[in-house]
Structure 1
């Protein structure tokens, strides 16, 4: 490869994948996903008619409205964890409390599937902390400005590079 040949740019799929990876790493992504997925069975099972062979099972009870509210709130909290990462602790605690309430209100928490997913998602949200910025990316100062204004000027190497003393 010569210097005259331009470097091929990454394709659209690769670029989108890298942008999604950067977005995912700056927020409690897995906590939001587990919480969102936990709300689906909690809201779905009270309104579903399940078929086992020729026998149909309807789980519709008076708690159907409560199950729907809990499921929709868990889905909303999962999306909140993704797009409002500053409220992750509140959303995590609320997800844990709604998961516990779903045990009583909505068919043992969506047959324990929704309960466990929402509980894990809430715990992940509460325990998530933003990553520290990388050392190289945090320093964007020019070479002429000292790193610390109170520090003495940096000594230069024999090759002209700067050294922090």
Structure 2
């Protein structure tokens, strides 16, 4: 049954006083993430933790959309957290609902963050910003990293056995791109994940070498800061995103999300590090033991 003209006018007035379309996109993205895990039980069991994560993230995005509708004053906080969850769904679920749910979540988050009430209670001139912000976000982040992780640095060769690295907190800044490539070693090329960023901070850093036939060396630092064209070459990487969702990445396993917000951090990190390059490395309390 169609709404009466006065009901349509009331709905239109209500819609213009909040980031309505942003909330709708978030709820659609969350619903899409729920579609596969809410399949028959046999499908859900086969999905394992990825299916459970999809349910949790999907419900959280739907709740975020509801918050944008009924509590628009909290849109900035809600939008930032929804953006984090949308991007993390790429790694934690079925590739972010095969990219559809993730992209809907990113678009809704950006529109919600960019929305402001107009002078007459509507969205005013911010409509253009809200629509273009998701495209600007992807255009600024994706092309910046595309192609930069395709080749190893010229003249550098990594150790045949990657070093073991642990840190209680890994915080990248200006994360641009993550990809997979080949790195030369004394025993032939090795497949690695290549993570590029502007800077990174590692707390309680410990690196242990595992070269064949040589004594084990341990390098520790209370804090390690990398800056200027930082690239990490890893054969394995695991940790807890935002200290909550624990995942493991590898070149042949779970892919690293191609775009990661600059405010995401990881705790309880363990990694197999083949090589690291940076313009500047500053260590606090550096110690080398045999």
Global fold match (TM > 0.5):
yes
Greater than 3 Å deviation, 4+ residue runs: 56-59
- Greater helix share, 1 or 2? 1
Whole-angstrom distance in 1 between the partners of 2:7 and 2:28? 24
Conserved 8 A contact 1:74-1:95? yes
Conserved 8 A contact 2:51-2:94? no
Whole-angstrom distance in 2 between the partners of 1:92 and 1:12? 31
Match of 1:145 in 2: none
Match of 1:89 in 2: 76
Deviations 1:12-37 (A, max 9, x none): 61111000000000000000000010
Q: Which of the residues 23, 29, 38 maps onto 1:32?
A: 23
Q: Which has the higher contact order (CA 8 A, sep 6+)?
A: 1
Conserved 8 A contact 2:26-2:104? yes
Mapping 1:90-109, distance limit 5 Å:
90-109=77-96
Deviation at 1:65, TM superposition (A): 1.5
Deviation at 1:57, TM superposition (A): 7.1
Match of 2:51 in 1: 64
Conserved 8 A contact 1:46-1:106? no
Deviations 1:59-100 (A, max 9, x none): 622222111110000000000000001000111111110000
Conserved 8 A contact 1:38-1:118? yes
Deviations 1:82-136 (A, max 9, x none): 00010001111111100001000110101111011110000000000011138xx
Match of 1:3 in 2: none
Conserved 8 A contact 1:47-1:60? no
Match of 1:123 in 2: 110
- Which runs of no fewer than 5 residues in structure 1 stay unpaired? 1-10, 50-55, 135-165
Whole-angstrom distance in 2 between the partners of 1:62 and 1:80? 27
Whole-angstrom distance in 1 between the partners of 2:3 and 2:119? 29
Per the alignment, do residues 57 and 17 of structure 1 end up closer, same or farther by CA in structure 2, a change over 3 Å counting? same
Whole-angstrom distance in 1 between the partners of 2:92 and 2:34? 11
Whole-angstrom distance in 1 between the partners of 2:80 and 2:105? 10
Equivalent pairs counted in the alignment come to 118
User: Taking structure 2 as the reference length, what is the TM-score of the superposition?
Assistant: 0.38
If you compute each CA radius of gyration, which structure gives the higher value, 1 or 2? 1
- Greater strand share, 1 or 2? 2
